[in-house]
Amino acid sequence: MLQIFLQGFAVYFIVWWITLFAVLPIGLRTQAEDNDIVLGTVHSAPSRFRPVFVFSMTTIISAVIYGLWYIASNYFGWGFDALPQIGPSFSNV
């Protein structure tokens, strides 16, 4: 039981981490856009970071993605073997 939980947590963590980098630029305002550039920083640095928004949106979106993956793998039996083969087959058949 613990192994199943840890496997699920590992998949959720990977999905959460990838989703974080997709959510980070949402609603981002740079210092150059706000005309408030702090000396020693690049113009593209964020003017204000909203960690509560970023982490909550990341958690919600990754929970939906993980839920869809869980349903697809456990109830429909879809896995990586069900994906079509895109590359060439090098078998001798």
- 17-35 burial by CB neighbour count: b if 16+ within 10 A, else e? eebbeebeeeeeeebeeee
| d(C-alpha 21, C-alpha 44), whole Å | 16
Residue 87, pLDDT score: 67
Residue 54 has pLDDT above 90, yes or no: yes
Mean pLDDT in residue range 60-83: 86
The pLDDT score that the predictor gives to residue 48 is 87
Q: Which range, 6-10, 58-62, 66-70, is most confident? A: 58-62
